Amino acid sequence: MAECGDAYRARLAGLTARLDAPSAAAERDTIRADLITLGKALEQDLLDLTVLKEEAKSLVEKWKGLQATLAPAFSAERPIVADHIGASTFMEKGWSRISLGDYAGAEDSLQKALRLAPNDPQAESLLGWALMLQEKYDDALMQFQKVLMREPGNALARINVGYICLKKRIFGEAIEHLSRAIRLDSDRKATLYAHFYLGLVYLERDMFEDAQTFFQKTLRLGPNLIEAYYELGRAYWFNGQRDEAQQTWRDGFATNKFNPWGKKCAEVLKTVEQGGEP
């Protein structure tokens, strides 16, 4: 596509030169025809590129399905901001690149946005997502904390802080942030993941019955969060409740056989049925 762009630039340069030439008036009709031809070619190539972009998005979604990640799926609203000397352009690019799974590219765009519009909360939040999804947890934590300083009620930023604390095994802070997100109950997705992450915290601390309680509530709030079946099964298993564990993994696989976590439920079920351990 870069070669295509170079060819169009060459055609534009040629037409510019012809229009600036002394003979332009005499060539008026010919130049008009060439301009129309160029416009039609651009329109067709833009249409083709739009179709290719949509096809690429569908491939990205398939790729995301291959990853069994515990981080909440990115679903932030498309940013609508006043242009701060071009900052909104970079913010839009950052949002699009996160959606496409290009987290490093998103980080670069959002850093540029913040250089043009320092302390913009949308840009900071999006940058936090991009960093977190690259497992740059310390940098991501700093971005989300900036957001929370200005917006203490931002539930999604708060559960992301809780998630990062969980990954860094700072369990006390994780519990504090996740519990607060549940109390806020201002965002359905944040409330769902807050329960799920609390289940993971208690599972890591070998507090299996508490973990079960949070995973069960997670599945009541979001029956399609298949990873909760997988983790609930582990909480049962390590608490000595082997039958409950196996039934939970069967339920997880039956709920969505094509989901990566549904497949993990089937795999761990096969392992334990053959005498192995999760």
Chain segment 67-108, per-residue pLDDT in tens: 545 666 555 555 555 555 567 888 888 888 888 888 899 999
For 73, which DSSP code?
Answer: P
pLDDT of residue 253: 96
d(CA 34, CA 16): 12
- C-alpha dist (Å) from residue 238 to 27, 190, 211, 212: 84, 27, 11, 11
Domain boundaries, the chain: 1-66, 206-278
pLDDT at 84: 53
Spatial separation of the C-alpha atoms in residues 222 and 232, rounded to whole Å: 14
**Cα 181 to the chain's mean position, in Å?**
20
Task: Give me the DSSP letters along 78-142.
Answer: PP----STTHHHHHHHHHHHHHTT-HHHHHHHHHHHHHHSTT-HHHHHHHHHHHHTTT-HHHHHH
pLDDT at 66 over 50: no
Closest alpha carbon to 277 in 251, 240, 248, 228: 240
Whether residue 264 contacts residue 230, with contact meaning beta carbons closer than 8 Å, is answered with: yes
CATH code linked to domain 206-278: 1.25.40.10
The predicted model gives 213-228 an average pLDDT of: 96
Residue 64 has pLDDT above 60, yes or no: no
pLDDT of residue 79: 54
Per-residue DSSP letter, 259: S
**Percentage of the residues of the chain whose pLDDT score is greater than 90:** 50
